[in-house]
Chains A and B, each alone.
Chain A
């Protein structure tokens, strides 16, 4: 079975500051891990994915995430926040079956 915990339902950072969104997972099999972003009234857009290759994964819009098996974590980071990064972010895990298990989401707010 798989599960995802996103620490912090709401994160607020200043424009230009580091963005760190936390995700911890649980999986009984080697996981595939994903980060999705959702803007208001839109669907989910894939930011990046981990599929057992490099542990540091680079995605779109300057985001990256590092898979740490020992910590069962897959935190999302961006060195410098932009106003356009304000959105809801979902971490998700797949254990190889057809389904994704989502975390509860983190709403990112960017302060000017």
Chain B
């Protein structure tokens, strides 16, 4: 089945130690998103790629970076995680069709804990 896969499902890292979360998709969608979701809150968009074009949200900290080496893969890099970065990180994909965005498809997320 076509899907969005996030690895790992659970990630534990140390305060200040760089961490990378990965996302892959078999849907061949041209848009990929990274969201941060804290407990009992809505997902918060960090950035997204439209094809190779990177679009950063204005309030996304510089500590968060992303890479999209090809259509299928997208990575979230947290350069120096702080305690406030502990959250669920969700990857999503969608397809732009005739200038309108089709529904986003989400992975199951990576829950990041900071020690």
**Partner-B contacts on A (CB < 8 A):** 32, 34, 36, 41-46, 49, 51, 90, 94, 96-100, 102-105, 107
Interface status of B84 (Cβ within 8 A of chain A): no
Number of interface residues of B (CB under 8 A): 27
* Distance of A98 Cα from B42 Cα, bound (Å): 18
Query: Nearest-CB distance from B76 to chain A (Å)?
Result: 14
Question: Does the CB pair B42–A104 fall under 8 Å?
Answer: yes
Query: Nearest-CB distance from A53 to chain B (Å)?
Result: 13
When distances are taken between beta carbons in the complex, the residues of chain B under 8 Å from A41 are 88, 108-109, 111
Q: Quick one: given A98-B31, A98-B50, A102-B43, are A44 and B111 in contact (CB under 8 Å)?
A: no
* Distance of A55 Cα from B94 Cα, bound (Å): 23
Q: Quick one: given A102-B43, A103-B42, are A32 and B101 in contact (CB under 8 Å)?
A: yes
Query: Nearest-CB distance from A52 to chain B (Å)?
Result: 9
Nearest-CB residue, chain A, relative to B108: A43
How many contacts between A and B, using CB within 8 angstroms? 59
Question: Does the CB pair B45–A99 fall under 8 Å?
Answer: yes
Which residues of chain B from 82 to 115 have any CB-CB distance to chain A below 8 Å in the complex?
Answer: 88, 90, 92, 94, 96, 99-101, 103-109, 111
Q: Can you identify 19 A-B contacts, CB atoms within 8 angstroms? A: A41-B88, A41-B111, A42-B109, A43-B90, A44-B92, A44-B104, A45-B106, A46-B103, A49-B103, A51-B100, A90-B42, A90-B43, A98-B48, A98-B55, A99-B101, A100-B45, A102-B43, A103-B42, A105-B42
Query: Nearest-CB distance from B62 to chain A (Å)?
Result: 20
When distances are taken between beta carbons in the complex, the residues of chain B under 8 Å from A102 are 42-43
* Distance of A94 Cα from B42 Cα, bound (Å): 15
Interface status of B70 (Cβ within 8 A of chain A): no
Per-residue contact bits, chain B 60-86, to A (CB 8 Å; 1 contact, 0 not): 000000000000000000000000000
Question: Does the CB pair A46–B105 fall under 8 Å?
Answer: yes
* Distance of A46 Cα from B27 Cα, bound (Å): 15
Query: Nearest-CB distance from A29 to chain B (Å)?
Result: 10
* Distance of A42 Cα from B9 Cα, bound (Å): 9
Which of A45, A49, A98 has the most chain B CB within a 10 Å cutoff?
A98
